[in-house]
């Protein structure tokens, strides 16, 4: 039976590929020492080198293994130096970028930490004052609504003076639009304001007065002004009637026909407006194709224009 040579027992931990056992080395193993095989793991390579040197029988074998390891180390070191020198610029830029990124990340973490602390503090304060904030929000909405109502009341209190100015200039279209809009506002959004009761009654009275005034003006322009113009022209041209008839169609006849057509058109619009008022109780001036020139000083000068705008 071959003799056995006992070597010091060395534990191999789990980092050495999970082997946790003790081994013995025989004389046969020392005669044929295993060569180390480079491993992907640095720990495995170190263990392989130690095993090879330990299993070497003579110093010559150890020297050969040592020289071999040194040659491999020099090759590796040379290769590493070549790679480093080749990628020196890239490595420098990478390190600089890494330093900047690391600094930014650190600063961002600090800012995020501060923001989190502030949010937590705000959350705590909001919980403490939630009812108070809700009350303030409700009061703000109420105050905004009250301010809007006050603005509307201020504007509607100016309406009587504006109506008087329009009526004095006989701008009945603007007066009608303003009056109907004011009545709608007073009976709508401001219906609950008791202080506007007298103003509402005044609007109703002005509405009746405006209705009567419009009927009076329409009657005047339909039956008085238009016929007066015709009679004046007729009297002015009466002396030369026979000669003009003999010469054919006269300017007077063309003038009479033109005025008659204008009166028919004005009468049609007036009857349509009166029919709408009698049917609905009001005239929808927004849907009517009516244009009023507020720069006209006296609308009575042109009856046709007055009837179109009325």
Is there a contact between 20 and 2 (Cβ–Cβ < 8 Å)? no
For residue 236, what pLDDT is reported?
Answer: 67
Is pLDDT of 296 > 60?
Answer: no
**Which pLDDT does position 282 carry in this prediction?**
55
Q: What is the pLDDT of residue 147?
A: 92
Residue with the bigger pLDDT between 192 and 272: it is: 192
* Banded model confidence at residue 46, pLDDT cuts 50, 70, 90: confident
Q: Whole-model pTM?
A: 0.41
Q: Please tell me the predicted confidence (pLDDT) of residue 247.
A: 46
Please report, for the chain, the start and end positions of each structural domain, with discontinuous segments joined by +: 47-132
More confident residue, 270 or 205: 205
User: Mind listing the pLDDT tens digit for each residue in 216-263?
Assistant: 888 887 777 767 666 666 666 665 555 554 444 455 455 555 555 565
Say what the pLDDT of residue 278 is. 59
Which of 41-55, 141-155, 175-189, 256-270 bottoms out in mean pLDDT, i.e. has the lowest? 256-270
Is the alpha carbon torsion for 105, 111, 117, 118 positive or negative? negative
Assess whether pLDDT exceeds 50 at residue 112: yes
CB 175 within 8 A of CB 166: yes
229/243 Cα distance (integer angstroms): 22
Q: What is the CA angle 167-171-172, rounded to 5?
A: 75
pLDDT band for position 24 (cuts 50, 70, 90): very low
Place 10 in a pLDDT band, splitting at 50, 70 and 90: very low
Q: How confident is the model at residue 104, as a pLDDT? A: 94
Report how far apart, in Å, the C-alpha atoms of 288 and of each of 14, 50, 168, 284 are.
99, 109, 23, 7
Residue 17: the pLDDT is: 39
C-alpha to C-alpha distance for 84 and 129, rounded to whole angstroms: 63
Does position 106 have pLDDT exceeding 90, yes or no?
A: yes
**Mean pLDDT value across the chain:** 72
Phi then psi dihedrals of residue 239, to 5 deg: -65, -35
Residue 183 clears pLDDT 60, i.e. is over it: yes
Segment among 25-29, 97-101, 250-254, 294-298 with least mean pLDDT: 25-29
Pair of tokens at residue 288: 């009517």
Torsion angle in degrees (nearest 10) through CA of 290, 296, 301, 306: 10
In a 13 Å sphere around the CA of 62, the CA atoms on its Cβ side amount to 10
Between residues 73 and 26, the one the model is more confident about: 73
Percent share of the chain, pLDDT over 90: 17
């Amino acid at each position: 039976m071959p003799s056995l040579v006992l070597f010091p027992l060395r534990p191999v931990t789990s980092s050495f590929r999970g082997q946790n056992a003790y081994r013995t080395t025989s004389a046969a193993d020392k005669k044929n020492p295993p060569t180390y095989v480079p491993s992907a793991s640095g720990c495995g390579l170190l263990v392989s080198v130690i095993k090879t040197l330990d299993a070497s029988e003579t110093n010559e074998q150890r020297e050969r293994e040592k020289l071999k390891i040194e040659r491999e180390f020099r090759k590796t070191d040379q290769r590493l130096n070549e790679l480093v020198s080749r990628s020196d610029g890239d490595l420098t830029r990478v390190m600089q970028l890494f330093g900047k990124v690391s600094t930014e990340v650190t600063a961002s973490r600090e800012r995020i930490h501060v923001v989190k602390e502030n949010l937590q503090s705000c959350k705590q304060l909001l919980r403490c004052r939630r009812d108070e904030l809700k009350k303030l929000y409700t009061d703000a909405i109420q105050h905004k609504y009250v301010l809007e109502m006050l603005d509307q009341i201020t504007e509607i209190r100016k309406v009587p003076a504006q109506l008087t100015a329009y009526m004095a200039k006989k701008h009945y279209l603007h007066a009608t639009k303003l009056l109907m809009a004011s009545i709608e506002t007073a009976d709508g959004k401001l219906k609950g304001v008791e202080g506007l009761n007298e103003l509402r009654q005044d609007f109703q009275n002005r509405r009746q007065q405006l209705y009567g005034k419009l009927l009076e003006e329409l009657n005047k322009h339909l039956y008085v002004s238009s016929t007066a113009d015709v009679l004046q022209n007729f009297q002015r041209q009466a002396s030369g009637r026979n000669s003009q008839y003999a010469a054919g169609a006269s300017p007077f006849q063309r003038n009479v026909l033109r005025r008659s057509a204008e009166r028919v058109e004005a009468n049609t619009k007036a009857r349509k407006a009166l029919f709408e008022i009698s049917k609905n109780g009001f005239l929808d001036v927004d849907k009517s194709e009516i244009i009023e020139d507020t720069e006209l000083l006296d609308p009575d000068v042109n009856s046709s224009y007055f009837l179109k705008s009325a």
